Amino acid sequence: MACPRASDQGGFSLIELTIALAIMGLLGALAMPIVSKIAERTGFSLDLQDLERQLDQLPQVAASQGRGLVLTSSPTAGDPVPLGAGSDPYPVKLPAGWQITVETPILYRYDGTCSGGQLHLTTPSSEANYLMRPPLCELRPG
């Protein structure tokens, strides 16, 4: 009986494996910036959808709490907390670096109706205007 020789066995050499790993590493390095941009855009879209949902739900929040809410321009870091506002005076949660500017305060009454108005959203990468028409203040791009 003859023993098979080492040259008769199949498989990849160390050089072939090293080249394949180098190619995979190069492709991964090229794809990483694209993947990170996609993740950044997805995060921005989710933050924007969450903010729009919060703004749409303000009439229901006022009605469920049985008290009025006021949407004003978002406070900046140095602004004082309004008296009687409690621990969380601003009615929506904004991602870091985002700012809402309201021309005139939008009043949400205890019954879920509102005064309407316009707001301007500023993010680190874009800006948008919204129109909120009374009595239900449905959020519309404008």
3-state SS class at 107 = strand
N- to C-terminal Cα distance for the chain?
87
pLDDT at residue 43, as a whole number:
94
* Span 43-62, pLDDT tens digits: 999 999 999 999 999 999 88
Which whole-number Å values give the CA distances from 128 to 41, 52, 76, 118, 133, in the listed order?
16, 11, 19, 11, 17
The model's pLDDT over 101-126, given as tens digits with 9 standing for 90+, comes to: 998 899 999 898 999 999 999 999 99
Q: For a pLDDT cut of 90, what percent of the chain falls above it?
A: 51
What per-residue confidence (pLDDT) applies to 79? 54
Q: pLDDT-based confidence at 3, cuts 50/70/90? A: low
Q: What is the largest CA-CA distance in the chain?
A: 97
Q: Looking at residue 82, what is its pLDDT? A: 45
The answer, yes or no, to whether residue 97 has pLDDT greater than 80, is yes
pLDDT band at 16 (very low <50, low <70, confident <90, very high): very high
pLDDT (0 to 100) of residue 37: 94
Query: Given this model, what pLDDT does residue 84 score?
Result: 38
Q: How far is CA 41 from CA 35, 48, 81, in A?
A: 10, 10, 33
> Bridge partners of 107?
70
